[in-house]
Amino acid sequence: MSEETASSVVIGIIGGSGLYHMDQLTFVREVNPMTPWGHPSSPITISQLPTGEQIAFIARHGKHHTHSPSAVPYAANIAALKHLGVKAILAFSAVGSLREEIRPGDFVIPDQIIDRTKGIRQASFFEGTNIVAHATFGDPFSKTFSAFLVPLVQNVLKESEGVQLHTGKCVVVMEGSLFSTRAESKMYRILGGDIINMSTLPEAKLAREAEISYALIATATDYDAWRESEEVVTVSEVLKTLHTNAETSRQVLCYPSGLGVNMPNSKVAQAVIAELHAAITSNQLTSEIEGSMEYSIVTQPAHQTASDREKLRYILPYFS
Ligand SMILES: CSC[C@H]1O[C@H](OP(=O)(O)O)[C@H](O)[C@@H]1O
Ligand SMILES: Nc1ncnc2[nH]cnc12
């Protein structure tokens, strides 16, 4: 067993646009593994609390935002986190709002996805192998993990005047890199989309195949292009709220859920991450997903090649 596999890194954080690092925790080490799907977007930072709980953080677009949403090495990111021992991923994303009531600055924990990516991203670990598998994906985010996050996020947002948390929403994942036309933006509203980004797929699909519990905290930065009388979204508009949203996102992990608000930062971080760590290690957030792939694999072992099995062994136990 490698050094990383043996450690207690069970929490993975994926930072989106604007969220390129976590503060407040003690740096332990950086790892940049070569997975069967290549290197991750950037080296993964492992940090820890004084009590020893560790988290792995990866910047989705790289630390200097050098990977476009269509070119993020999603499979390598998820595989690397899984190989470290991660059981639950909390992903962050900057999103456009398709609803008047979801205002820029608001937070959203969605429960559904509409896929508007165009088939150019590797969406399955089984692609390129002769092993066929069909994972269940009706509920693309972990229900228990998302529910666990709601009070944590609500606590943080109590301190940020006027910022709302929305739940039970649907995220449209588009291809990019350009933003949507006005016609597309209006169509997504008719389809039932509430927010829009360019990155939650294939990330959520790959996490599901790797049996990692996955939840998303989305932070609204703009109203996209559907409001006829308003200007359409631009990067400068997104950047206006991105910094504040990223600061608030960091607070989510560094806020004393159920404890006093005036604690020093280090104790605060300890409280929340320890809570998340305890929930994961007691299987509260992972029992619904662990073992879920075993019966999703259609191709019988006798018809699986040794090289395919070796590749998939990196992320799943069924190929040992
Ligand atoms: C910078 S605006 C478009 C960009 O922002 C979102 O990134 P992420 O989901 O990683 O926060 C969106 O998906 C696009 O990639
Ligand atoms: N309007 C928008 N469309 C797609 N991705 C986004 N990320 C932030 N705002 C966005």
How many A from CA of 312 to the centre of ligand 1? 29
Indicate whether 36 belongs to any domain. Answer: yes
For 181-201, letters b (16+ CB in 10 Å) and e give eeebbbebeeeebbbbbbbbb
How many A from CA of 72 to the centre of ligand 2? 16
Query: Does the C-beta of 242 come closer than 6 Å to ligand 2?
Result: no
Closest approach atom of ligand 1 to CA 69 = 15
Indicate whether 126 belongs to any domain. Answer: no
Report, as residue numbers or ranges, the catalytic residues: 222, 224
Indicate whether 48 belongs to any domain. Answer: yes
pLDDT digits over 162-186, tens only? 889 999 999 999 999 999 999 999 9
Indicate whether 128 belongs to any domain. Answer: no
How many A from CA of 313 to the centre of ligand 1? 31
Q: How many domains are there within the chain?
A: 1
Indicate whether 130 belongs to any domain. Answer: no
The domain of 295 spans 9-120+135-319
Distances 249 to 15, 82, 217, 228, 293 between C-alpha atoms, Å: 9, 23, 8, 30, 31
Indicate whether 4 belongs to any domain. Answer: no
Instruction: Output the domain CATH number for residue 157.
Output: 3.40.50.1580
Quote the CA–CA distance of 109 and 131 in Å, as a whole number.
33
Both ends of the chain: CA-CA distance in Å? 14
Amino acid type, 80: A
Quote the CA–CA distance of 62 and 39 in Å, as a whole number.
11
Among 21, 64, 82, residue whose Cα is nearest residue 253: 21
pLDDT digits over 147-160, tens only? 998 888 887 777 77
Burial of 263 (0-12, 13-18, 19+ CB in 10 A): middle
Query: Does the C-beta of 241 come closer than 6 Å to ligand 1?
Result: no
Q: What is the pTM of this model?
A: 0.92
Known binding-site residue numbers for phosphate: 17, 60-61, 93-94, 199
Indicate whether 129 belongs to any domain. Answer: no
Among 56, 24, 25, residue whose Cα is nearest residue 43: 56
Predicted ipTM > 0.95: yes
